[in-house]
Amino acid sequence: MTASAAEIQARTLAGYADASRLRQVHDRDWVLDQVTGEPRVLLDLGSGIGQLLGAALDRFPSLEKAVGLERSPHRIAEAAGRLRAYGPRVALHESDLTAPEPLPHRPDVVTMTSVLHWLYPHEQRVLKWTHDHLAPDGVFLLTTYHPARDAHGLGGEDDIVRTVLEARHADVPGLFTAAGILPIATRTRTFDELEPLLEGYFRIEGVLDRDAVVTVESAAQYEHFHAATFGDYYSRLVEPAERAGFFRAVGEAAWRRQAETGHVSHMTVRLWRLAPA
């Protein structure tokens, strides 16, 4: 059986440059607006295809090194091509952020945008690592997404997926549990849970909140956004033969929701400005 375009995209996390326009591009500019002075070294945790690194290099001529840590070899390869023109000012490392290896860099700025929930429940590992690597007068700029969640811990993208799965399964929360897949909204800690976790390693200098609203131009656009952003995380809830239809149904569910409410989703995003404790 030939895999669909969305299935291939989900396996390789391809197409994120287009998908990120729906959400991540706003985080990138918002975060970089908080960088002050003339940073010499910037480190992006979960650097993806290198969009934030490229924007930082363009914005801050003082940067001698822009460093990216990313788990996906496909995204590392795409980032390398995207950033090739910057030459030795760029260093990319394939790394699992739940167990990152030591680096020789002492960054003035560390960024992490919409990644922390993927590290649940071991976020403290990367927080400690960041604390140990950050320059004494450096800043850690962290964004966290906070979808509303129900009693089963489902919310945000989980709701779109639930809409698709309810056509075949009476107990969708039970399906998540049986598959050993945590809803994304469960992975995302609340503000009250995050604050003491962060304060174990950092001093909170300030927070900014905004409402992230996702709208799309078609069902197909959301289908590819889901595949590029979440990969095969949710599609594992259905049998292999059903996965092409699953991705298509996710796009259709999102498009119907937008027709009904004017948007696919909205949630609070918090930008934390953190300094070493």
**How does pLDDT run across 192-243, given as a tens digit for each residue?**
999 999 999 999 999 999 999 999 999 999 999 999 999 999 999 999 999 9
Q: How confident is the model at residue 16 (pLDDT cuts 50, 70, 90)?
A: very low
Q: Is the pLDDT of residue 276 over 60?
A: yes
* Contact assessment for residue 45 and residue 111, using Cβ atoms and an 8 Å cutoff: yes
The number of beta carbons lying within 10 Å of the beta carbon of residue 232 is 16
d(CA 104, CA 128): 16
Sheet holding 109-113, edge to edge: 90-94, 65-70, 41-45, 109-113, 139-146, 265-276, 202-214
Entry pTM:
0.90
* Contact assessment for residue 67 and residue 41, using Cβ atoms and an 8 Å cutoff: yes
Residue 221 CB contacts under 8 Å (≥ 6 apart), including other chains = 22, 251
In single-letter form, the type of residue at position 37 comes to G
* Contact assessment for residue 43 and residue 133, using Cβ atoms and an 8 Å cutoff: yes
* Contact assessment for residue 188 and residue 144, using Cβ atoms and an 8 Å cutoff: yes
